[in-house]
Structure 1
Amino acid sequence: MSDSFFSYSKVLRLKRIRADFAVEVLLAERLGELEINPYFTYLNTLVDLVGTGVGESRTLFDETLEWVEKEAMPNYDHGLNGIFDRRFSYEPKHRVKGLGLIQFEEIVIDVVRLLTDAPSINLSKREINVSGIEQVHAALKHQIPEINIDNVYVTSFVIEPGGRRITQSRRLAEDVFVHFQHNEIPYYHGEGVGVFSIAYSSREAHLHPQLTIKDISDLVIEIAPQFLI
C-alpha cells in the first residue's frame, strides 16, 4: 500500500469503522492511481475452460469485500478469471489493459491482510445512528475548532468542453449528514469534487484556503466511529 496514505495509524482508524468503507478507501487509493473505478470494473469468471460463457461477474469492490469478510485469500485461475470493463463479457475488447489478474490478486491480498491482521476490523454490519445535523456539525467542529465549517462547501462537478458544470454544492456538515441518513459513510476523492469557501463555485480562486478533499475525508474517518451502533 502507499506509504504516503496508509500509515499504520490510518489503517487502525479505518478498522474502527466498517469493512465496506475501509475496502472502498483502500481500493480507491490503489486503483485510483490506475484510473480504474472498482464499482464499474468487473472480475468475470467463465463457466468452464471449453466455452466462452461467463457464469459470474462481480465488481472489484464486491469481490474484495467478500474476501475480507471471509478473512481468506484469493487464488485466481488465469484460464477462468479476467478483469473487464463490461459485466458478463469475456471479449478481448472489453478486457482492462491497466490491471492484470495477478496485480488485482495482490491488491486483494494486501487489503485482506491490512484489515484482518490483529487488531482485526469489526466485520459486523453496523448501522449509522444520527439524530440530527447538529450532531454532525458538533463532531466536525470538535476536530477543527479553528475553522468556520459553515463556510466549507463540498462541491461536485463534471468537466465538459466549456468548463466545469456544477451538479451539487452543500455545506460540509450537511453533506456528511445526508450520507449518514442513508447509512452511508462518504469518502471524498477523485477529480469531480472539491472543497470551496463559496457555494456553487468551482473556481480555483474559491478553493478553501485550509481544507482539501483529503482533509475532509480524514475528518469523516475520525468522526464516523461515534455514529456507528
Structure 2
Amino acid sequence: MSDSFFSYNKVLLLKRIRADFAVEVLLVSRLGELGINPFKTYLSTLVDLVGTDVSESRTLFDETLEWVEKETLPNYIQGINGVFNRQYSFEPEHRVEGLDLIAFESIVIEIVRWLTEAPSINLSKRSIKVSGIEAVHAALKYQLPEINIDNLYLTRFVAEAGGRKILQSQSLAEDVFARFQQNEIPYYHGEGVGIYTIAYSAQESDLHPQLTIKDISDLVIEIAPEFLS
C-alpha cells in the first residue's frame, strides 16, 4: 500500500467516497511532500493590483474543494493571488517557500480533473450512517481476516524532550466509529500517530509488525463507502 494516492486505482477508490475526503487525501498526499499543511496555508486575494488590501483568504483545502464542487478549473492571476502561511496576509515574508501560485494552480487542476472525469465523483453531501461499533468492527475484520482487530490501537502522541507524550489511545474500531459518529471520515497521516499492538504505548517495539498508519488510511478508504447514505 505504499504507492501514491495519485495512481489511477486510488483515485477510483476515492471517487466512491465524498469530495471533501477525496480532496483532503489528494492534497495532503501532494503537499505533505513539501511539508505544507493545506489546512494552515492560505490562498489570499487582493482587492486590486494597486493596493495591499486582501479581499479573501481561504485555506488551500477550502480553495481546492470549491473548484472540485464547481467542476471548474482555476485561473489565478499573478499579483492578485498568492500562497501564504498567514491568513489575510500578502506580505513577502509570509509567502510559502516551495509552493508558488503556478505550482498550486497545477495541483488544483490535476485534482479537479481526476475527480470530475468519468466516472466522476458523487458531489452530493452524503452522510455517514453507522448502527454501532459492531458494524465498524465487522467491516475492518472483513478487510483484515488474518489480523486480530482487537489488538490494533490507534495512538496519538507528541514528541517531548523526555520522549513521547500520549494524547489519546483507543482501539482502531473505537477510533473509526467515533469519527463516523461525527460524520467524519478519518484520514490518518503524519508523525504524531501510529498503529500499535498495546494501548497507550508509543514505543517502537510495540508498533504493529504488519500494518503502518498508511495501511490504516487505505483500510478506511475501503470500508467508508458502505457507511455512506
Q: Once the two structures are aligned, what percentage of the paired residues are identical?
A: 76
Tell me the equivalent position of 2:20: 20
Residue identity matched to 2:101? L
Tell me the equivalent position of 2:148: 148
Q: How does 1:200-215 map to 2 (within 5 A)?
A: 200-215=200-215
Secondary structure of the residue that 2:83 maps to in structure 1?
Answer: strand
1:55-87: per-residue Cα shift (whole Å, max 9, x none)? Answer: 000000000000000011001001100101111
| Counterparts of 1:3 and 1:145, CA distance in 2 | 22
Tell me the equivalent position of 2:82: 82
Residue identity matched to 1:166? I
Contact 2:5 2:11 in 1 (8 A): no
- Structure-2-length-normalised TM-score: 0.97
| Counterparts of 1:103 and 1:175, CA distance in 2 | 35
Q: What is the Cα deviation at residue 97 of structure 1?
A: 1.1
| Counterparts of 1:43 and 1:81, CA distance in 2 | 7
Tell me the equivalent position of 1:111: 111
1:130-169: per-residue Cα shift (whole Å, max 9, x none)? Answer: 0100000000000001100110011111112222111111
- Structure-1-length-normalised TM-score: 0.97
1:149-190: per-residue Cα shift (whole Å, max 9, x none)? Answer: 110011111112222111111100000000000000000111
1:14-66: per-residue Cα shift (whole Å, max 9, x none)? Answer: 00000000000000110000010000000000011111010000000000000
Secondary structure of the residue that 2:36 maps to in structure 1?
Answer: coil
- Counting matched residue pairs gives 228
Residue identity matched to 2:150? D
Q: What is the Cα deviation at residue 3 of structure 1?
A: 6.1
Q: How does 1:93-104 map to 2 (within 5 A)?
A: 93-104=93-104
Q: How does 1:1-229 map to 2 (within 5 A)?
A: 4-229=4-229
Q: What is the Cα deviation at residue 6 of structure 1?
A: 2.7
| Structure 2: stretches of 5+ with no match in the other structure | none
Q: CA RMSD in A?
A: 1.1
